[in-house]
Amino acid sequence: MAQVAMLGTGIMGGAMARNLLRGGHRVVVWNRTAARAEPLAADGATVAGSPAEAVDGAEVVITMLKDGETALSVMSEASPALRSGQIWAQMGTVGLPSLGRLAAFAAERGLRFVDAPVQGTKQPAEQGKLMVLAAGPQDTRTVLDPVFDTVGARTLWLDENGAGGAGTRLKLAAVSYAISLTAVVAESVALAKGLGLDPSLLGEVLTGGPLDSAYLQIKMKAMIEDDFEPSFAVRNAETNTRLIHEAAESAKIRVDVNDAAGERFRRAIERGHGDADMAATYLASFAT
């Protein structure tokens, strides 16, 4: 079992830390807002007062932070206690330009950098059923596989070059699908309601047919019931649409549906729904 430093204990990081503890790993946690980390002490975690305190002595440092700039800032704060040879698993969604800066930071300090974003949201994180999309040195896998197996149902190792960003590139493609599908479902549910129908009738048409999916059912139910408890917040989804656009632009690919979804998320944020689940893009369908 590894000693793990978890930097960032929000919806995803907190759930991952609990699963690491259940799996027998020794876990030190830190969060900028200390109140988000302190409840993990009851699960057996050590709560650190600073990033440097958290990483001191860790075999694996995990960053699960909101963006690349935050990850770089936090790791810079941790720098006095980092040591050459430590494994840094960057598991948030940071975008390709930020990933390059993170990998450069790791190289300067002799850290073994692994790009390992996760596919999944709150419920899979709580259940330990995330998918880990990992790219990094072969010699890190003996240590990381038990860690990743504790937080995820499957690890997909892509290549041995974490700095190449294969994990991040695949994550952006996958999250683009989820984000775009959420916007499509929102428009269909809103259209049914706007045309004077009970929107649950849409479920009658789609359920059990070739267009059905577990994801459709979850998001459609949330929209119909106005239940937007966050699993993946509108604000985070909007950030992801910009990261996807940026990556697509560098590859000379157009992502029209993603960009339209981003506009919907920004409208939802303007209406005060930024911290709601991204299913609240449904609320951006209606004229104010």
The domain boundary residue, chosen from 118, 140, 164: 164
The domain boundary residue, chosen from 129, 164, 199: 164
Residues 142 and 181 occupy one common structural domain: no
Residues 140 and 214 occupy one common structural domain: no
Q: Range of 105's domain?
A: 3-164
**Beta-strand pair 60-63/3-7:** parallel
| CATH code for position 160 | 3.40.50.720
Tokens of 262: 């981003």
Residues 15 and 158 occupy one common structural domain: yes
Residues 153 and 174 occupy one common structural domain: no
Residues 21 and 150 occupy one common structural domain: yes
The amino acid at residue 278 is: M
pLDDT exceeds cutoff 80 at 218: yes
Q: Are 138 and 63 within 8 A, CB to CB?
A: no
Residues 92 and 58 occupy one common structural domain: yes
Residues 119 and 102 occupy one common structural domain: yes
The pLDDT tens digits of the residues spanning 243-252 come to 999 999 999 9
Name the percent of the chain lying above pLDDT 90.
98
Residues 186 and 228 occupy one common structural domain: yes
Alpha-carbon distance of 140 to 90, in angstroms, equals: 13
Residues 120 and 175 occupy one common structural domain: no
The domain boundary residue, chosen from 116, 145, 164: 164
The pLDDT tens digits of the residues spanning 66-99 come to 999 999 999 999 999 999 999 999 999 999 999 9
Q: Are 231 and 123 within 8 A, CB to CB?
A: yes
The pLDDT tens digits of the residues spanning 225-277 come to 999 999 999 999 999 999 999 999 999 999 999 999 999 999 999 999 999 99
Residues 20 and 158 occupy one common structural domain: yes
pTM attached to this predicted model: 0.93
pLDDT exceeds cutoff 90 at 216: yes
